[in-house]
Structure 1
Amino acid sequence: VRFAPSPTGYLHVGGARTALFNWLLARKHGGIFVLRVEDTDRERSRDEHTEAILHGLTWLGIDWDEGPCFQSAGVERHRATALRLLEEGKAYRDFSDPDEIRAEAEERGMHPSRVAREKADALGGEESERRAAAGERFAIRFRVPDGETCFTDLVHGEMRFPNTDIDDLVILRSDGTPVYNLAVVSDDIEMAITHVIRGDDHLSNTPKQVLLYRALGVAEPAFGHVPLILGSDGKRLSKRHGATAVGEYEAQGILPEAMFNFLAFLGWNPGDEREVMSREELVEAFTVERILKKSAVFDTEKLHWLNGRHLAETPTETLLELVRGQLGELADGGWRPDAARAGDDAHLSEVVELLKVRSRTVTELAAQARPYLGSIPEYDEAAVAKHWAKEPSVALDRLGKARAALAAGEWTREALEEAIRALAEAEGVGAGKIIHPLRVAVTGQMVSPGIFDVLALVGREEALERIDTAGAMVRGL
């Protein structure tokens, strides 16, 4: 199998899904996964796009057995393929002016390629040879035979295309450059590709390519065309729906394992209730027969949910550098972590272990980690309004008593919980009446992990200082 991206843009999630399906098929059956960069569009191809595509595949864990090879390296072979078809009478020279052909075709109600064929046939072989030998420029068109072109698609089943609907396609331009359909067929033959899984948007090219394979006397590969990916509004996924490049999701704190899992389920399912699956499980379960015919919807909420599940199961040590990278992004926004705390692997590991089960992305985890790695970045307005501002005097009294109770004992999770619950009992109130204003004081947030875990992690000196700061704020309400 092969994945053949064009370096005219970044790695789109649709392209990544195509690569993933091909990779799963190769790994399932012990096949070879080839990476071929189709860079024949020299004007639009960019090195940075090639680098982004390679990085995106590597990030997803999609490795290749051969390549990356570049389509532009095979131009001479592509030309030779076109000339072979010409010599065998399966293609013809087209000396006509494209604008004149289009105008005549419009006037006569014909397809331009049919007009071009008429002119080529009227010209005759000898005259065609003479004009070519004289240096006159010409394109080469493939002569589509009569009848119909049929093949069995791995996803859609039997496909039939009347050849009258297929134009005599140009396979070599007048400047000597090969056209996409010829280059693809020539490359797939050279690389001994046996299966081609690609998007439905390529389906219109397939009968043309099948005809070229057969004209060259080579059995075509098995084709499978997967459904398009749609946005939430049912329209083809585009930038108006949000991020579409794989690199954007990496920057947002999505884990590669989660993105891999999510992409696999865009147009495929394992046939059971499983949704959270590892690469190994996906390889074992994958079959082309379970690729769906209907288009898949890119659900960002589902991606975030799935990422949260993978995040919770990822070893904490694996997440440390990812979290540090996101902390750097937060620092660029103005908040600064305490260098000692953020640089302490043991402390950061405790923070990540506490928060990873409550976060959906690494970015979210890093944002939630701020109170444990530096000063409180800001106080949640809703939390202040609910737990301080409604009854400032009561909140101030409870914060003061909580501070005294906490400061009097040992700073362990168990001792801290015992102190707060004893205070609540002495005050004749539920523990939550003490815990909620205390949580806002220590984290600045409405919700957090268990307050006693939080207090133990923040540490005695920092926690007591935050309670003092909170008390001063409450006095001003």
Structure 2
Amino acid sequence: MRGKSMSVNDGKRYSTRVRFAPSPTGKLHLGSARTALFNWLVARGAGGSMVLRLEDTDRERSSVEFERDIMDSMRWMGLDWDEGPDVGGPHGPYRQSERIDIYNEFVQRLLAGGKAYKCWCSGDDLEERKRVAIQDKKAWRYDRKCAALTSSERATLEADGVPFTIRFRVPEGKVVVEDSLRGSVEVDTSEIDDFIIVRSDGTAGFHLAVVVDDITMEITNVIRGDDHLTNAARHVLLFEALGAEPPTFLHHSLLFGPDGTKLSKRHGATSISDYREQGYLPEALVNYLALLSWSPGAGDEREIFTLEQLAGEFSTESVSASKAIFDIDKLNWIDRQHMKTRGDRELVDLVTPFLLQTGREELAALPRDKLEIALAAVRNAMEKLTDALEPMDLFVRPAGLLSEKAVAQLGKYEELAEALDICVEALGRDTFVDRHTATKIVESLRSVAKERGWSAKKILMPFRIAVTGLTVGPDLPYLIMFWGCARCADRIEANRQAFERVTQELREEGEK
């Protein structure tokens, strides 16, 4: 589906209107975010409207905190909406808890038309009748006991103030759900109970609220997970009972972990805010979620897309019904590809908040040009923003501090003093060094090693350790660019002295 108008609901013609309707009972889950993305892509690709509504009828579990997380996470992903609880719109309110009067109006229409009825059966009574049916090896369906009550019996129950629910009277026959991904799904209504549409506390049940919302908000396309496919038959019945044409349905697959089970916390992080906190780029996560069930077409091997490109190319005809397996390695690869499109300045802006969050104020306070060099030095090993943090620590590591591995490695070089002297001589005393000059210095060290019949490592490894105090780290030119020749030489001398002091202590310890 891409951009066409269609007849929906009361027979009027509307442009494409989709909705994302999360329950604010938890943080925005990856699976829900993917649903939001698919809806947004359809709306934006068709020049239509995106509606955000909150299904907050679970009063105990819903919270403002989760509402905020949902909206903040969507905005972080780059997804906006044309109507919603925060921006308003002509079809509000956009919280189900604020739409009780609207639901009551539609319920009265169903009651007046004999398409719904009050049910005074208590939970205990229903459980007992279910138990008996199972004991007699019969399938349990609500037996319409209250639908068969006389007017006198109903009047007595109402006069006594007995709590009641309201049930939808499921008609006999078959109901067909037209799904653009799965085709026609036919269900015999004998398999469907007279389901509750109003709870005993007077609040609308899920099925009624969803359908009334879709009708009054003029939704043309319902795109959601296939766990709602069984609900769709009930929804079609309600649309028809209310004289409205059902929207176009698409029930996409859910997200699964590598073990083939539904994605959950036991597979790792599951909320958008989790991945945001781990340092993933929003465009990379959006890119990856789009590729779970969608591809640009046969023969098109592209995997890297911007949100704008996705909006222009996404089509529901290219959505697959097969299982969508969440693969963290694939996400990391995609994040790395998007990372490559960011300049050093951009990455510094993105990494700095993580530096501050993790107590790396000294790093964050470095001059901007130094911070960009430090970031450039480690970026090739980054799959996400937080991967920069530990590697960047070496740029504020004090001179004279050697790791155990560094001490052990330096102890292997018989010509260590000569090698370090060569390094200091090659550096000179310049304070500012560009990439070209730094690279020439490293190449000169390689040449000197070759002249002496040494391997390059025999000079370059002592250089690295004597500058950083560590055995691993960024390419050497970045170290020279960051500290400059003079400071590198000073650090070499400080670490040389530290090494001599440590080896002396070890020697004395061994003689005891």
Query: Normalising to structure 1: TM-score of the pair?
Result: 0.91
1:361 aligns with 2:384: yes
Residue 384 of structure 1, CA deviation: 6.2
Output the amino acid matched with 1:24. Answer: L
Alignment partner of 1:45 out of 26, 43, 62: 62
The answer as to whether partners of 2:166 and 2:199 remain within 8 angstroms in 1 is yes
Identity of aligned residues (%): 40
Alignment partner of 1:36 out of 53, 57, 62: 53
1:337 aligns with 2:362: yes
Corresponding position of 1:83: 108
Partners of 2:231 and 2:400 lie apart in 1 by 55
Corresponding position of 1:401: 422
Residue 157 of structure 1, CA deviation: 1.9
Partners of 1:380 and 1:251 lie apart in 2 by 30
Residue 122 of structure 1, CA deviation: 2.9
Alignment partner of 2:237 out of 208, 211, 230: 211
Corresponding position of 1:450: 475
Secondary structure at the aligned position of 1:177 is classed as: coil
Corresponding position of 1:325: 353
Partners of 1:223 and 1:50 lie apart in 2 by 26
Secondary structure at the aligned position of 1:219 is classed as: coil
Partners of 2:417 and 2:294 lie apart in 1 by 56
Corresponding position of 1:264: 290
Of 135-144 and 2-11, the range deviating more from structure 2:
135-144
Partners of 1:111 and 1:466 lie apart in 2 by 81
Aligned pairs for 1:122-141 (under 5 A) are 122-125=148-151, 127-129=153-155, 131-132=157-158, 135-141=161-167
Note closer, same or farther for the CA distance 1:279–1:71 as it changes in structure 2 (3 Å cut): same
Output the amino acid matched with 1:360. Answer: E
Residue 16 of structure 1, CA deviation: 0.6
Note closer, same or farther for the CA distance 1:462–1:205 as it changes in structure 2 (3 Å cut): farther
Note closer, same or farther for the CA distance 1:99–1:351 as it changes in structure 2 (3 Å cut): same
Note closer, same or farther for the CA distance 1:338–1:145 as it changes in structure 2 (3 Å cut): closer
1:281 aligns with 2:281: no
Partners of 2:111 and 2:399 lie apart in 1 by 74
Secondary structure at the aligned position of 2:118 is classed as: strand
1:224 aligns with 2:250: yes
Partners of 1:289 and 1:213 lie apart in 2 by 25
Alignment partner of 2:28 out of 11, 15, 22: 11
Output the amino acid matched with 1:35. Answer: L
Note closer, same or farther for the CA distance 1:377–1:136 as it changes in structure 2 (3 Å cut): farther
Note closer, same or farther for the CA distance 1:395–1:312 as it changes in structure 2 (3 Å cut): farther
Note closer, same or farther for the CA distance 1:274–1:445 as it changes in structure 2 (3 Å cut): farther
Residue 392 of structure 1, CA deviation: 4.0
The answer as to whether partners of 2:103 and 2:209 remain within 8 angstroms in 1 is yes
Corresponding position of 1:92: 117
Secondary structure at the aligned position of 1:393 is classed as: coil
Corresponding position of 1:307: 335
1:103 aligns with 2:128: yes
Secondary structure at the aligned position of 2:296 is classed as: coil
Secondary structure at the aligned position of 2:176 is classed as: strand
Aligned pairs for 1:291-302 (under 5 A) are 291-302=319-330
Residue 197 of structure 1, CA deviation: 0.9
Partners of 1:264 and 1:279 lie apart in 2 by 9
Residue 241 of structure 1, CA deviation: 1.2
Residue 208 of structure 1, CA deviation: 0.8
1:192 aligns with 2:257: no
Note closer, same or farther for the CA distance 1:70–1:445 as it changes in structure 2 (3 Å cut): farther
Secondary structure at the aligned position of 1:254 is classed as: coil
Residue 125 of structure 1, CA deviation: 4.2
1:65 aligns with 2:79: no
Residue 136 of structure 1, CA deviation: 3.6
Partners of 1:468 and 1:336 lie apart in 2 by 27
Of 453-462 and 227-236, the range deviating more from structure 2:
453-462
Residue 65 of structure 1, CA deviation: 0.8
Partners of 1:26 and 1:159 lie apart in 2 by 25
Partners of 1:350 and 1:215 lie apart in 2 by 67
Residue 338 of structure 1, CA deviation: 4.9
Note closer, same or farther for the CA distance 1:377–1:360 as it changes in structure 2 (3 Å cut): farther
1:430 aligns with 2:447: no
Partners of 1:379 and 1:236 lie apart in 2 by 48
Partners of 2:469 and 2:19 lie apart in 1 by 51
Q: How many residues align?
A: 468
Output the amino acid matched with 2:24. Answer: P
The answer as to whether partners of 1:337 and 1:375 remain within 8 angstroms in 2 is no
Higher normalized helix content (fraction of residues) = 1
Partners of 2:251 and 2:142 lie apart in 1 by 29
Note closer, same or farther for the CA distance 1:446–1:154 as it changes in structure 2 (3 Å cut): farther
Output the amino acid matched with 1:311. Answer: M
Note closer, same or farther for the CA distance 1:227–1:375 as it changes in structure 2 (3 Å cut): farther
C-alpha offsets along residues 196-219 of structure 1, whole Å, 9 cap, x if unaligned?
Answer: 111122122111111111111101
The answer as to whether partners of 1:400 and 1:471 remain within 8 angstroms in 2 is no
Output the amino acid matched with 1:97. Answer: S
Residue 126 of structure 1, CA deviation: 5.3
Partners of 1:330 and 1:444 lie apart in 2 by 22
Partners of 1:380 and 1:232 lie apart in 2 by 39
Residue 446 of structure 1, CA deviation: 4.9
Output the amino acid matched with 2:170. Answer: V
Query: Normalising to structure 2: TM-score of the pair?
Result: 0.85
The answer as to whether partners of 2:373 and 2:478 remain within 8 angstroms in 1 is no
Residue 85 of structure 1, CA deviation: 0.8
List runs of 5+ in structure 2 lacking aligned partners.
1-17, 86-93, 504-512
Note closer, same or farther for the CA distance 1:96–1:50 as it changes in structure 2 (3 Å cut): same
Secondary structure at the aligned position of 2:348 is classed as: helix
Alignment partner of 1:201 out of 227, 238, 247: 227
Note closer, same or farther for the CA distance 1:338–1:152 as it changes in structure 2 (3 Å cut): closer
Secondary structure at the aligned position of 1:145 is classed as: coil
Partners of 2:376 and 2:400 lie apart in 1 by 21
Note closer, same or farther for the CA distance 1:180–1:445 as it changes in structure 2 (3 Å cut): farther
The answer as to whether partners of 1:370 and 1:377 remain within 8 angstroms in 2 is no
Of 215-224 and 370-379, the range deviating more from structure 2:
370-379
C-alpha offsets along residues 153-201 of structure 1, whole Å, 9 cap, x if unaligned?
Answer: 1222221222111111000112211111110111111110111111122
